[in-house]
Amino acid sequence: MRPLIQIAFQLCLAFGLTAALLLLLRRPALQAGLVDQPTSRKRHGRVVPLIGGICITIGFMAAALPADLGLRDYQGLFAGMGALLVLGVADDLVEVDNWAKLAIQVLAALLMAAWGGLRVEELGALLGPGTALGLGPWAMPFTVVCVVGLINAVNMFDGVDGLAAGTVAIALGWLVLAGAVGGAGGWPVLAGVLLAAICAFLIFNLRNPWRRKAACFLGDAGSMVIGFGLAWFAVEAAAGEAAVLPPVAIAWILALPIVDTITLASRRMLRGAAPFQPDREHLHHILYRAGLNPAQAVSVLLAVSAILGGIGVLGAWAGVPDWLLMLLLVPVAGAQVLVHAKAWRFARLLRRGLRWARSRSRNAIQRRVAR
C-alpha cells in the first residue's frame, strides 16, 4: 500500500472497529454490571454502559498493528494503556483503592519514561533567548509527575457527556497537525489513529440534536487510557532534537483540564478534603448555574480548549519566544482560577449577559419580521 492509502486505512479501521465494538459490547456490559448507575450527583437518569475505554483501546491497538512505524518503540505505550485499562475496568466494576490506582498510574508513567525513553529533558527558553531551562536528573521524576497529573486531569474532567473525550480529541488534533507540518516521524500517524478511535466514541457519547443522551461512557478505564495516550504524544511532540513544538505550546494545548484540576484539588485540600473527591464545582457546573444546558456547556469549553491550543501552536509557528508565550499563559490561567474562586458571581454575570444577548436577538428578529 502507498503511505497515504495505508494511513487512511488505519484511520478508517480505528474509527469503524471502535464504533462496531460500541454497538456490540453494550448488552454484554449491561449483563456484566459494567455500568454507571444514576445517583444524586450523576443525573443521567438511567443505567449507562462503561465501555468507551475498552472499545477505544482495542480499536486503537488493532489499527496500529498494520503501521510500518517500528512499533517496538511503542511497546511502553501499549503496555501502559493495557495496565490502565485493566485498572480502570476493575475500578468501574468494584472500587479500587486510591493508592493502588496511583501505583498503577506511576507504573504506566515509568513505562513511558524508562522503557519508552520519553522524558521532558528541558522546559525551553523560559528565562530568555538562549537560556534553555534543563531539568538534568529531575527529568525522570518531572515526567512521571506530569504524566500522572494529566491522567488524573482527564479523569476529573470527565464530568459531562463528551467533555473529556472531546478535549483530548482537540489536543490530539493540534499535536497531529504540528507533527505533520513539522515533518515528525511516525508518531503523528499513531496519534491520528487514537484520535479516530476517540471520534468514533464521541458519536455515541456527545450530545447533539439527534442524540439527547449519551449511549455509553468512557468510565475510569477510558479516561485514564486516553489521558495516558495524550501524555505520550504530547511529550513526544516536545522532547528531543526532533521536537515539533516547545513545551510551553504543549502547556497551552493542555491548559484547560490541567488548570481546572490543579485549582479544584488545591481548594479541596484547603478545606481538608481529598484532592480527587468528586464534587460539583467544575467549570461545566459553573456554566450550568449561568443557565447553559450540558450540550451548550460542553460546546463552550471545547471551543475554549481549541482556541487555547491554537494560540500555543500558532504562536510557536510564528516564532513567539517561549518566555512570552509563558507570560501570556499566566493571565489565562489566572482568569480560570478566578472563575473558580468567584463561581457564583461569574455565573450571575454570565447569566445576565446571556439574557441580554437573547433579548437583543429576539428584538432584532421581531424588527426584521415587522419590516
pLDDT confidence band for 358 (50 / 70 / 90) = confident
If one counts every other C-beta atom within 10 angstroms of the C-beta of residue 186, the result is 15
pLDDT at residue number 131: 74
Amino acid (one-letter) located at 39:
T
Q: What are the phi and psi torsion angles at 237 (to 5°)?
A: -70, -25
On whether the CB atoms of residues 146 and 258 are closer than 8 A, the answer is no
User: Are the CB atoms for 85 and 78 separated by under 8 Å?
Assistant: no
Distance (Å, whole) CA 302 – CA 168: 10
Model confidence pLDDT, tens digit, residues 34-89: 888 766 555 555 788 999 999 999 999 999 887 666 667 788 999 999 999 999 99
- pLDDT tens digits along 120-172: 888 888 877 767 788 888 999 999 999 999 999 999 888 888 899 999 999 99
Q: Which residue range(s) make up the domain with 324?
A: 3-370
Helices (H), 111-162: 139-157
**332-349, pLDDT tens digit by residue?**
999 888 887 787 788 788
Q: Which residue has the cell 454497538?
A: 23
Number of domains in the chain: 1
pTM of the predicted protein model: 0.91
Question: Does residue 336 or residue 330 have the better pLDDT?
Answer: 330
Q: Whole-angstrom Cα distance, residue 328 to residue 271?
A: 30
pLDDT at 205 over 60: yes
Q: CB under 8 Å to 309, separation ≥6 — which residues?
A: 170, 171, 173, 174, 252, 253
